[in-house]
């Protein structure tokens, strides 16, 4: 079984314990860690990418949140031919002057933000045209998220937008940034569940993903949340994955 060896690994160097790891099925492991130090989570993703070189059928699905942190990818989404995008590029001469820790990372996209009120999903998966392509995986991650939000009586979330993401009307609920190495995905989606006013104040001049701060919204601002929203989202989201990702 693909998952057995993984479940018995010592992952303490990544800030993880045995209770953070579970098998979803015979080839899929779920790692859950709320408020996880970003550098440890990033290093764990790299570890999993290397691991899939020897265990290509294994899938590691990370559900987490991070303390307040800013990350910057390889660059903003490029417009199609004839399309105009009024996105503002991010540049920083001195990262130490930013209000939160800053990481330059491998994923696509521009500046984004994380905080404890987000649900973050990092799929460490070997892509295959026959089983799971990148575009299908991204669409399904958004569709699974929409299903969870509808269970919370939030209607109208969609990903039919010229900019990649999960949207409600013209306001952005979730960002998506994927990196691929050796056909293995890492990084992923961050959906804003709870509003974080401290982060919003810090982002006022930073234009995350090239957008003005007013274009971002949290689920909390649009509907009532269940008592433990991150855990409720995780359980319902993984139910869809268990059903769809055979």
What are 158-171's pLDDT values in tens digits?
998 778 899 999 99
Query: In the CATH hierarchy, which top-level class contains the domain 2-76+87-244?
Result: alpha beta
Q: Which positions ≥6 away from 231 have C-beta within 8 Å?
A: none
Q: What is the set of active-site residues?
A: 209
| E-only strand ranges, the chain | 21-25, 28-33, 59-64, 69-75, 102-104, 109-114, 118-124, 157-158, 166-168, 171-181, 184-192
Q: What is the pTM of this model?
A: 0.91
* pLDDT tens per residue across span 65-118: 999 999 988 764 444 544 444 445 556 665 667 788 989 899 877 788 999 999
- The ranges assigned to domains in the chain are 2-76+87-244
């Amino acid at each position: 079984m693909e998952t057995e060896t993984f479940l018995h690994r010592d992952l303490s160097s990544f800030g993880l314990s045995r209770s953070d790891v579970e098998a979803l099925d015979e080839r899929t492991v779920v790692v859950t860690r709320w408020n996880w130090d970003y550098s440890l989570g990033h290093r764990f993703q790299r570890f999993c990418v290397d691991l899939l070189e020897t265990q290509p059928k294994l899938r590691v699905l990370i559900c987490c949140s991070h303390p307040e942190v800013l990350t910057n990818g390889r660059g903003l989404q490029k417009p199609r031919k004839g399309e105009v995008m009024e996105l503002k590029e991010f540049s920083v001469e001195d990262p130490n002057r930013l209000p939160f820790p800053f990481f330059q990372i491998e994923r696509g996209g521009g500046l984004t933000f994380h905080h404890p009120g987000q649900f973050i999903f990092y799929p460490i998966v070997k892509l295959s045209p026959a089983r799971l392509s990148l575009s299908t995986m991204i669409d399904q991650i958004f569709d699974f998220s929409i299903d969870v939000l509808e269970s919370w009586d939030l209607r109208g979330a969609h990903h039919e937008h010229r900019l990649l993401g999960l949207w409600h009307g013209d306001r952005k609920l979730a960002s998506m940034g994927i990196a691929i190495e050796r056909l293995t995905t890492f990084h992923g989606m961050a959906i804003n569940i709870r509003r974080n006013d401290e982060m919003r104040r810090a982002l006022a001049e930073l234009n995350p993903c090239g957008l003005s701060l007013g274009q971002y919204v949290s689920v909390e601002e649009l509907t009532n949340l269940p008592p433990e929203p991150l855990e409720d989202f995780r359980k319902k989201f993984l139910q869809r994955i268990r059903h769809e990702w055979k």
